Structure 1
């Protein structure tokens, strides 16, 4: 069985690690030759993909792909791989059995802190999330035309080894921004990999929220990490007066609690169901400042 991960970044590498451990041959794409060696270092066969053209080598490799993961964000012109497929994904990957598209819980938009699930209508706020909804729909049409199962993983805020509150506290970039009643979900990167493997093994079809069990104010995560480190947390800052980039500020424009019951009802068990369990593991095992999960 062969997997191709388009956009094998932080989440893609975690997915590759899970599938490689199960005997899959896994390849991944990156945008530059400089980053290609990093994929090889974690056990993935690297290919360079500029988002517009498939090299002869990459095109040849796709012929034997059975499992596809698309992690490249769409842009104004839509999803690059959908465009290259020209309405027929089997023309690129004739042996394909399963498609996994990595999306975001941002597609739900703002719900004033209320719970949402996969049946909640999408009402995206940001341009990025609007493009994600369009990409989801394009992949659904492409998979349906090919008669292939498509699992769309809607991910919440991604963190894990090398990207977490401990790192931010250590380098002095951690902030405790306070916005009344604001909550976020998050997801440990290893749980993204495990969820993809769980669904891929079942050739699952449908929408799945891949997110933790405990939406909470973001400042609570920073406070807990500081407690574990034995350091003082940074001072609280009012969101309204804080200096933030437009993108950072836009994240606070969406407030919701995201449910994961559809995935857990299938029998999936999160390794890191909430931020407390996750932070405690990273700190106790000194895993917080390591790189992303590696393929074995």
Structure 2
């Protein structure tokens, strides 16, 4: 299997390593030569793609790929990967699966209610761009006959990026907004769900990628502190005036996102159904 990953960041990097462990041939793109060199030392053949110029090596990787994961951050004008590489992807002869990593942020606020993939988005202005990019990729799939899938990710955590690390570095907070919950997903389960989709593509599918338990963020911090033998930070009442606009916007969206579709369609068993299973493993592994 030849896999091309457009934008090897945190989540896509874990997926690349899992693919390599399965014996797949993996090519990825990053924006700088320094990062390309670092990833290449891990065995990930990495090319530089600045969002505009398409090298001959990248053109060849597209032509040979059986699966392409798109994990490129949107720009002000949309998805640079779609804009620069869309025609080549449509024409790629071996390509049978395209996955686009989106966000549950497109659903907006639902007052803490449960939602699923059939729920109409209530996107903020910030998320309208993501929705349009999703539509662009799905339309590419319809035109080309290739299986395009959208994966709406919740809050990502895993090795090096979790509440225990924040507690150790003094950056953890315990901000309390009554009734507020956040949805989260371990990076290993992102990889697992992507692998399940590649094994059983469904053109035009949209999947929520989130674990079983939306939870108040302060509860997760307290649980992590107890496991690590650390003192949790004091509770701080929610006050949007004291937050950055971005942080305030996160707390302005409250929803419980269902993962029933990936369980039902793929028979997927979560490696970390909640943070309670994941945090001890992260602690044992050095966080």
Deviation larger for 150-159 or 70-79: 70-79
Question: What residue in structure 2 maps to residue 104 of structure 1?
Answer: 103
DSSP 3-state at the match of 2:4 = strand
- Count of aligned pairs between the two proteins: 285
DSSP 3-state at the match of 2:64 = coil
The offset of 1:278, in angstroms, is 0.6
In the alignment, is residue 119 of structure 1 matched against residue 125 of structure 2?
Answer: no
TM-score of the aligned structures, taking structure 1 as reference length:
0.92
Question: What residue in structure 2 maps to residue 178 of structure 1?
Answer: 176
Question: What residue in structure 2 maps to residue 291 of structure 1?
Answer: none
Mapped partners of 2:229, 2:113: distance in 1 = 34
Q: Deviations over 1:194-253 (max 9, x none)?
A: 111111111233011110100011111110110001121000111216732221221111
Question: What residue in structure 2 maps to residue 49 of structure 1?
Answer: 49
Gaps of 5+ in 1: 289-296
The offset of 1:94, in angstroms, is 2.5
| Greater fraction helix | 2
Please tell me whether the aligned partners of residues 155 and 187 of structure 1 are also in contact (alpha carbons under 8 angstroms).
yes
Question: What residue in structure 2 maps to residue 229 of structure 1?
Answer: 228
DSSP 3-state at the match of 2:262 = helix
Question: What residue in structure 1 maps to residue 28 of structure 2?
Answer: 28
In the alignment, is residue 6 of structure 1 matched against residue 1 of structure 2?
Answer: no
Question: What residue in structure 2 maps to residue 278 of structure 1?
Answer: 278
Gaps of 5+ in 2: none
Question: What residue in structure 2 maps to residue 203 of structure 1?
Answer: 201
The structure, 1 or 2, with the larger RCO (C-alpha pairs under 8 Å, 6+ apart) is 1
Question: What residue in structure 1 maps to residue 15 of structure 2?
Answer: 15
TM-score of the aligned structures, taking structure 2 as reference length:
0.95
Superposition RMSD in Å: 1.4
DSSP 3-state at the match of 2:28 = strand
Mapped partners of 1:169, 1:52: distance in 2 = 40
- 1:145 counterpart (131, 143, 146): 143
Distance 1:145 1:88, change over 3 A: farther
